[in-house]
Structure 1
Amino acid sequence: MLIAQISDIHARPDLSSLRTLGRAIGWLRVFRPDALVVTGDLVDDAWREGYRLIAESLHALDCPVHLLPGNGDDVQLMRSEFAAIGTWLGAPGPLHFRVAVDDLTLFGVDVTVAGQSYGDLLPHLPWLTSALAAVTTPVLLFMHQPPFRIGIEVLDQVGCRNGHALLGALEGMDRQPLAILCGHVHRPISGRLGSIPVRTCGSLCPPNPLLLEGRDDLPIIDAPSFLVHDVSDGRLISHIVSIAAPA
């Protein structure tokens, strides 16, 4: 089972990241994953036309597409512009999704908070724990911000709150997700929430600098990237796919 993940397109009228998205979509059309998950921050500044252009690109794929909003998205615009694509559980609530892909279940948790740049898991834990308890297949759990601090202060200030509550809920369950898969950071990172692997997807716009422990703001040498998750026999391997700049 191959699940692709794209995150943080941040489309804007200069079209630069939309061109990068086009190259990623072209690669995925040939690769043919079983599903694609987009983990938020699709456009900047509520640019409606950007949502429409992204929707047109995603229509070129033969696989199902599942979308989550990020802290920079307009949830209502997403709901209207992706009405033909979105697999959300219902209106007008959060843009959660729960979908089965053969013997795998994908969960998406919309952690956005109206009018705020941070995310919050706490309001969604009753739904998530109830839904997870009813699943008998392996699970991948997607959200925008990772559920812990990553050490880049400007991102942690708008991170996801109550990750400890998520850990407490998941530790009491018979079946835990194979991984928690996020965006937000604009670079691939890996960590753990308790014993559960947490991974973030790179971005399709320029990656963020690695501002750790007061280090200098060094020039960015990372390429835009996305992830391909290979799930087989209850184990997960995540591959980074970098997108070279056009010649």
Structure 2
Amino acid sequence: MRLVQVTDCHLHADPEARSRAGVPLRQLHRVLEHARRLRPDLLLVTGDVSQDETPASYRHAAEAFSAMECPWFWLPGNHDHGDFMTETRDFHDELDLGAWRLLMLDTRVLGRPHGELGAERLADLADSLTLDERPTLVAMHHPPLAIGSAWMDAIGLADGEAFWETLAPHPQVKAVLCGHIHQAFVGARRLPEGEVAVYGTPATTDQFLGGSPEFAIDQASRPGYRVIDLDGERLTTWVERVDL
């Protein structure tokens, strides 16, 4: 099975609205056109779909995602309006990928840039993991560990340690897929039952400068997406960049 992850589209109601480094909707179309050639079985969208939180921005997104000709699913980021999203497309807590499963977590804290799961969502996560021992992917918007960029680490997942404590008894969790950071990233967390990989993905719009202590755009980098291939219990993943 092949998954494609896109993230941080930051669309506006105005399809010609600009970001700092381009036109987000145009860039999303280019990224998806490139990704479609790889014939994914599923498209995963990990938040910050909208910049202006308008119904029209989500309609633009849904039209673009539907052109992928495969099932697509999304979760919200800190810039998103959850009600407007679900008016367009429902959220899902879990996806059945056959030999694998994908758990989708909402890390939003309304009105704040950082993320948090909270005790109730963590308890639900623990219950879900107890019920099914298939190899598992976890998708969320905010990264659950530091990426080495001070300003971004300050607005990551605030209860990251509690998240890792929740995963600790469940070795079936193989990887976390996140958005928010607008850059490619590979990290890992060693737990008592094994290591869990953490993968960050380039935005379809502006890229952030990796390792920068303050907010900075990476003018030299290009939009992109992540490919995740699942073959039996084996996971292979890489990032594709797209010329504009």
Fold shared by both chains (TM-score > 0.5): yes
Q: Is the contact made by 1:113 and 1:120 (CA closer than 8 Å) also made in structure 2?
A: yes
Equivalent residues in 2 for 1:74-153, closer than 5 Å:
74-82=81-89, 86-88=90-92, 97-123=93-119, 124-153=121-150
The DSSP-based 3-state class of the residue aligned with 2:37 is helix
How far apart are 1:116 and its partner, in Å?
A: 2.1
Say if 2:67 is the partner of 1:60.
yes
How far apart are 1:2 and its partner, in Å?
A: 0.7
Higher mean C-alpha deviation, range 29-38 or range 124-133: 29-38
How far apart are 1:185 and its partner, in Å?
A: 0.5
- Tell me the equivalent position of 2:20: none
Distance of aligned partners of 1:71 and 1:177 in 2 relative to their CA distance in 1, 3 Å threshold: same
How far apart are 1:190 and its partner, in Å?
A: 0.9
Q: Which amino acid aligns with 1:232?
A: D
- Tell me the equivalent position of 2:224: 225
Distance 1:28 1:43 in 2: 20
Could you state the TM-score of these two structures normalised by the residue count of structure 2?
A: 0.88
Q: Which amino acid aligns with 1:143?
A: M
The DSSP-based 3-state class of the residue aligned with 1:31 is coil
Distance of aligned partners of 1:28 and 1:130 in 2 relative to their CA distance in 1, 3 Å threshold: same
Q: Is the contact made by 1:34 and 1:101 (CA closer than 8 Å) also made in structure 2?
A: no
Q: Which amino acid aligns with 1:201?
A: T
Describe the superposition over 1:176-213 as per-residue Cα deviations: whole angstroms up to 9, x where unpaired. 31100101100011111222110101101110123435
How far apart are 1:233 and its partner, in Å?
A: 2.6
How far apart are 1:153 and its partner, in Å?
A: 2.4
- Tell me the equivalent position of 1:237: 236
Distance 1:58 1:157 in 2: 31
How far apart are 1:45 and its partner, in Å?
A: 2.1
- Tell me the equivalent position of 1:92: none
Q: 1:188 aligns with which of 179, 184, 189?
A: 184
How far apart are 1:169 and its partner, in Å?
A: 1.5
How far apart are 1:217 and its partner, in Å?
A: 5.6
Could you state the TM-score of these two structures normalised by the residue count of structure 1?
A: 0.87
Distance of aligned partners of 1:19 and 1:138 in 2 relative to their CA distance in 1, 3 Å threshold: same
Point out 4+ residue stretches in structure 1 off by more than 4 angstroms.
216-219
Distance of aligned partners of 1:157 and 1:224 in 2 relative to their CA distance in 1, 3 Å threshold: same
Equivalent residues in 2 for 1:3-14, closer than 5 Å:
3-12=3-12, 13=14, 14=16
Distance 1:183 1:24 in 2: 16
Which stretches in structure 2 are left out of the alignment for 5+ residues?
18-22
- Tell me the equivalent position of 2:31: 24
Q: CA RMSD in A?
A: 1.9
Describe the superposition over 1:26-45 as per-residue Cα deviations: whole angstroms up to 9, x where unpaired. 23333221111100001112
Distance 1:28 1:223 in 2: 14
Which stretches in structure 1 are left out of the alignment for 5+ residues?
89-96
- Tell me the equivalent position of 1:179: 175
How many residues matched?
232
Q: Is the contact made by 1:140 and 1:181 (CA closer than 8 Å) also made in structure 2?
A: yes
Q: Is the contact made by 2:175 and 2:199 (CA closer than 8 Å) also made in structure 1?
A: yes
The DSSP-based 3-state class of the residue aligned with 1:158 is coil
The DSSP-based 3-state class of the residue aligned with 1:223 is coil
Q: 1:163 aligns with which of 160, 163, 171?
A: 160
Describe the superposition over 1:40-73 as per-residue Cα deviations: whole angstroms up to 9, x where unpaired. 0011121321111111111222221110100111
Describe the superposition over 1:121-150 as per-residue Cα deviations: whole angstroms up to 9, x where unpaired. 233111111111112321111000111222
